[in-house]
Amino acid sequence: MREQSLTYGSDTRELPEDRMTAPSNLQTGDLISTDPRTGAEVARFPVADAATVIEAVDAAREAAAWWGDLAPKARRSWLLRFRAELSRRAEELAAVISAETGKPTDDALLEVMLAVVHIDWAAKNAEKVLGRRKVPSGLLGANLAATVEYRPFGVVGCIGPWNYPVFTPMGSVSYALAAGNAVVFKPSELTPAVGQFLADTWNAACPGQPVLQVIHGGGETGAALCRSGVDKLAFTGSARTARTVMATCAESLTPVTIEGGGKDAFLIDSDADVDAAVDAAAFGAFGNAGQTCAGVERVYVVSDRYDEFVDKLVARTRALRGGDDDGADYGPATMARQLPIIAGHIDDALAHGGRALVGGRESVGETTVQPVVLVDVPEDSTAVTDETFGPTVVVNRVATIEEGIERANNSTYGLSAAIMTRNVSRGRELARLLRTGSVAVNSFLSFASVPALPFGGLGDSGFGRIHGADGLREFSRPQAVAAQKFTAPMNLLTFDRKARDMKAVRLMLRHVYGR
Ligand code: NAD
């Protein structure tokens, strides 16, 4: 087998030719996306070089001046038009998502639905969250009117992944637009047609100004975007690439938001509804072929419910099937490069005493991975420590839910987690012990469907937030204004300061703040 090297993500690796399905397209000057189910070409676009990226950012800067100066109500109505247009064309978009990722069209449609819900929320709440508001001016500022307002940065660059090529980047793109920024978006090189569809739909809904543009390419185009002078960079992708992106942005002190990967834990307490837990864990682990940043990769079950959970999960998993056809529960691996990583995690688990109750190493096929359930896997196996991003799950027994939480927290990642317990208020208390950005109680991923909730992680899962009020503020710069209404009886910021004023300061320090 001929080996070729290619630059993908942050590193250059030697990869076998048959593992290069998508990235090899970058070597031709054109970016060609292919259907992972058939290998057939889906679309091709010219790769944007550094000069093209700068051109796009320059055009975006002019558009940003127009967009940022619009009355908030006008921006809201343009965004709602975009939302309506996307909703009307949702089936068409789902077909493009399906073609480029290989996921079932119903899953793709749900992704569009989620994105639309967020665009709607961002459009309708931007003015309330970001608009000018008064704040108390305090003892020293009694003569001041103090206000804070969240102003747009100007031009925001967004770099997206391929696993949810609409929902994920739109978490940055729509909130950045709603906050009054123009956006230059570089979709994943695996899903350029999806990115192009989004930009084309925007431009049909809001013609005239390039408020949302798309540029195509891989890591080099992404790096050019980081260096292009954008005012903020929103990155979604792996922790490994995130480190490179941050280093590149550091050259120009460009602020970054990082939405990285995850190794999410799913915790099952003694009082849990085990059937509901099986249903949620199976969907969380195997849905979208396990290619979900906040997917279920580790399950910790309290000892007295462990056997029941494992038996039912095994039965449920045996009924699931990955495949290229419409009847499959999930599709092939979108990125063939991930297949050896998934196989490596299974090997590592089995080599260190883990057991496969469903599937095994042989489940990793040429394009598709059949579901794998692993048990008794040591906590230091790569199957537990590293993001697998495939339809495999590790289920381990814990003595108490507190032990499960401790193990869940023992991770470099901190994206999200789930807790199953019939006692919802205890679930909320347990959630506070988890070192993650989000927690679902008695469900999987439910927080992502609530647009008012912020989403993001810590550690290798990144920092900054998309969604909700925090997501709008993420793409804004707070501006503080203190307007003097009348001359202060006590003026301390002058060389002509009075001795009696300093006496008042000393009294205040002692009697107001010194107690
Ligand atoms: P990736 O890190 O390989 O690539 C992400 C993006 O970065 C792509 O658009 C790529 O072209 C670009 N890129 C690569 N090298 C670059 C460089 N040097 N400079 C600038 N840009 C560069 O990730 P992926 O394989 O596309 O996506 C999967 C990863 O994304 C997983 O780790 C997953 O967990 C994560 N993810 C996170 C979230 C979240 O919201 N936290 C959502 C979806 C996916």
Whole-number percent of the chain with pLDDT over 90: 93
Which residue's CA is the nearest one to ligand 1's atom 20? Answer: 222
* Mean pLDDT on 418-426: 98
- Residue in the structure block whose two tokens are 């185009």: 221
The pLDDT of residue 29 is: 84
The confidence score (pLDDT) of residue 326 equals: 84
* Terminal alpha carbon distance of the chain: 78
Contacts 24+ apart (CB under 8 A), 493-498: none
Closest CA relative to residue 24, chosen from 263, 370, 335, 274: 335
Which segments of the chain belong to CATH 3.40.309.10?
A: 265-435
Active-site hit among 111, 226, 293, 387: 293
Indicate the helix (H) or strand (E) that contains 402: helix 401-409
Q: How confident is residue 28, by pLDDT bands cut at 50, 70 and 90?
A: low
Query: Tell me, what's the pLDDT at 463?
Result: 98
Band (394; pLDDT cuts 50, 70, 90): very high
pLDDT in tens, 178-210: 999 999 999 999 999 999 999 999 999 999 999
Q: Please give the distance of CA 314 from its chain centroid, rounded to a whole number.
A: 30
Average pLDDT rounded to a whole number, residues 260-267:
98
Q: Which residues line ligand 1 (CB under 6 A)?
A: 9-10, 159-164, 168, 186, 188-189, 218-219, 222-223, 226, 236-238, 241, 244-245, 248, 259-262, 293, 387, 389, 415
**From atom 1 of ligand 1, which residue's Cα is the shortest distance away?**
237
Say whether 259 is catalytic. Answer: yes
Structure tokens given for 388: 């697998």
Whether residue 16 has pLDDT greater than 70: no
Q: What is the pLDDT of residue 12?
A: 31
Domain 48-261+469-474 carries which CATH code?
A: 3.40.605.10
27: pLDDT confidence band, cut at 50, 70 and 90? low
Instruction: Cite the residue boundaries of each domain of the chain with CATH code 3.40.605.10.
Output: 48-261+469-474
Residue among 303, 302, 301 at smallest CA distance from 393: 301
**pLDDT one-digit tens code per residue, 119-153:** 999 999 999 999 999 999 998 999 999 999 999 99
> CATH classification of 265-435 is 3.40.309.10, yes or no?
yes
Question: Token match 């001359």: residue?
Answer: 487
**Rounded CA gap, 320 and 328, in Å?**
8
CA of 449 to the centre of ligand 1 (A): 22
| Active-site choice (100, 111, 189, 259) | 259
- Please report the pLDDT score of residue 22 as a whole number: 37
Q: pLDDT digit string (tens) for 349-385?
A: 999 999 999 999 999 999 999 999 999 999 999 999 9
pLDDT band at 20; cut points 50, 70, 90: very low
Whole-model pTM: value is: 0.93
Least confident among 14-28, 97-111, 441-455, 461-475: 14-28
Q: Which amino acid is at 410?
A: N
φ, ψ of residue 395 in degrees (nearest 5): -115, 120
Torsion of CA 101, 105, 109, 115, to 10 degrees: -10
Read off the pLDDT of each residue in 19-37 and give the average, rounded to a whole number: 69
Average pLDDT, the chain: 94
Two tokens at 285? Answer: 């682990």
Chain segment 48-73, per-residue pLDDT in tens: 999 999 999 999 999 999 999 999 99
pLDDT value of position 489: 84
Average pLDDT over residues 26-54: 92
Q: Is the pLDDT of residue 18 over 50?
A: no
